[in-house]
Amino acid sequence: MSRDDPEMTSPMAVERLICDVTQSWSEVGGGVGTYLRHKRNHILGRTPHRHLLIVPGAEDNVTVEGRAITATVRSPRVPGSPNYRLMLRNGAVRRIMEQFRPDLIECQDSYNLPWAAIAHRRKFPDTALVGGYFTDFPTVYAERPFSKVIGSTLAGVAGRICYRYCGQLYRRFDAVFALSENGGAAKLRSYGVDDIGIVPLGVELGDFGPALREERRRQLVGAEDGKPLLIYVGRLDLEKKPQIVVEAFRKLPESLGARLVLLGEGPLRDEIAALGDPRIHAPGFVRDRRELALWLASADIYVSGMADETFGVSIVEAQASGLPVVGVAAGAMVDRVNDAIGRLGPVDDSDAMAANILAVWQSDRRRMSEIAQVEAHQYSWDRSMETLFGPIYRKAFAARTRRVVEAAPMAAPLAVPAE
């Protein structure tokens, strides 16, 4: 290859077929789904490339619409999470990959699907492979839940086994990125995955802001003027820990006159409703982004008990809306919140969370709001896509080029004719 070859200069200068494959697909929100929708919009609107999206669905189907290809693989629903499906049919995934032969495959989860992509690259070594660390699953799905059943010591062993698995898996990729330093990069690095890029997710910052505040909306939930309205946005399940938020809220002095709004769906919604606390309102999942922005702007403090955020889109949206954040000192929250814009406390400690809510309420919230908005405005989808399609994909294509060159047979020496 010459130095003038686009592969050696800008690997994205020529048309490519970019493939994304993930378990974590939902038709109604979700961090990975939001990322992939923005990524497809970027590909179709800003680049010459084509996009192949492989996700679980109700049936096997392939739809081609110009440069956008969407393939669904028949998959059962995940128990307790009706918006998600479990895509286990690696053979079907590999057949789709072989049909379209993508130039680059990106995986957003750490389970079986990366192995389908790795097997595809083994057969077609000219495929670049990228891994995105979107879910801190060793902690979320192994260590924390197991600790309640087998104790913290054995649960810690299970978590370390899963992290070692992640180290072995991600070392096989041509390029790896996390969404934040404390939300994944530091952990992967400690298990031998070197040179990890950081691709922060974006936020539609122009859609959020304190100017959208509506007193009428506050009145609908009984939030009086000068009294705190707390808000949480996310799934109402054990992973996201909204029950810790509810426990903390109910430990606040009644004289504070606080109200709590929980925006989201999930198995804990009925349990929270069964408490019969008229100060807590759970209107369900808000699909409309404008409605979400109005709710955030009309609140006073954003509260979350989620310990394993890999980025925290809802946190940034709350900050863009001018809200201080009360959360936990774990995962990406450490990267998003400091004492100038909120408070962080121990995981699963509703007493500490209640104390931090009071501390924020009694602080200079106007100043916190100003700093939070400045902090939020460093995140945009343009910045995310520039990083992804720049250094991350360049690194992946460079590794692909080295692999192809090294695998090429050496040219046979020229025969010297006998005299």
Three-state DSSP class for 193?
Answer: coil
Which DSSP category does 384 fall into?
Answer: H
DSSP 172-187: TSSEEEESSIIIIIHH
Contacts of 198 (CB under 8 A, 6+ apart): 177, 178, 179, 180, 181, 185, 387
Rounded CA-CA distance 410/398 in Å is 20
Instruction: Copy the structure tokens of residue 352.
Output: 């500490």
Rounded CA-CA distance 268/279 in Å is 17
For 104, 114, 125, 140, 282, the CA distances from 173, given in Å and listed in that order, are: 11, 9, 12, 23, 42
Instruction: Copy the structure tokens of residue 415.
Output: 């025969």
pLDDT for the residue numbered 228: 98
Q: Which amino acid is at 299?
A: A
Burial of 387 (0-12, 13-18, 19+ CB in 10 A): middle
Is 205-376 in CATH node 1.10.1740.10?
Answer: no
pLDDT for the residue numbered 150: 79
Within 10 angstroms of residue 61's Cβ, the number of other Cβ atoms is 11
Contacts of 65 (CB under 8 A, 6+ apart): none
pLDDT for the residue numbered 155: 75
Is 17-202+380-404 in CATH node 3.30.70.960?
Answer: no
pLDDT for the residue numbered 341: 96
pLDDT for the residue numbered 151: 80
Of 104, 136, 137, which is closest to residue 21 (Cα–Cα)?
104
Three-state DSSP class for 247?
Answer: helix
Instruction: Copy the structure tokens of residue 210.
Output: 């304190």
Which DSSP category does 14 fall into?
Answer: S
The β-bridge partners of 81 are 78
State which H helix or E strand residue 54 sits in. strand 50-57
Rounded CA-CA distance 248/243 in Å is 9
Rounded CA-CA distance 107/162 in Å is 18
State which H helix or E strand residue 165 sits in. helix 152-170
pLDDT for the residue numbered 83: 82
Three-state DSSP class for 282?
Answer: strand
The β-bridge partners of 57 are 74
Pairing relationship of beta strands 68-74 and 197-198 according to DSSP bridges: unpaired
Give domain limits for the chain.
17-202+380-404, 205-376
Instruction: Copy the structure tokens of residue 364.
Output: 């200079």
pLDDT for the residue numbered 411: 46
Task: Confirm whether 17-202+380-404 and 205-376 share one CATH topology.
Answer: yes
Q: Mind listing the pLDDT tens digit for each residue in 37-68?
A: 999 999 999 999 999 999 999 999 999 999 99
> Tokens 């697909």 appear where?
25
Which DSSP category does 202 fall into?
Answer: P
For 93, 152, 165, 236, the CA distances from 191, given in Å and listed in that order, are: 28, 21, 9, 32
What radius of gyration, in Å, describes the C-alpha atoms of the chain? 24
Across the 419 residues of the chain, what is the mean pLDDT of every consecutive 10-residue run? 46 93 86 93 96 97 98 92 90 98 96 97 97 86 72 81 91 96 91 93 89 96 96 92 97 97 94 96 91 97 93 93 97 94 97 98 96 93 95 96 82 48
State which H helix or E strand residue 220 sits in. helix 215-220
Q: Mind listing the pLDDT tens digit for each residue in 156-188?
A: 888 888 889 999 999 999 999 999 999 999 989
Q: What count of Cα atoms within 13 Å lies in the side-chain half-sphere of residue 259?
A: 21
Q: Which amino acid is at 236?
A: L
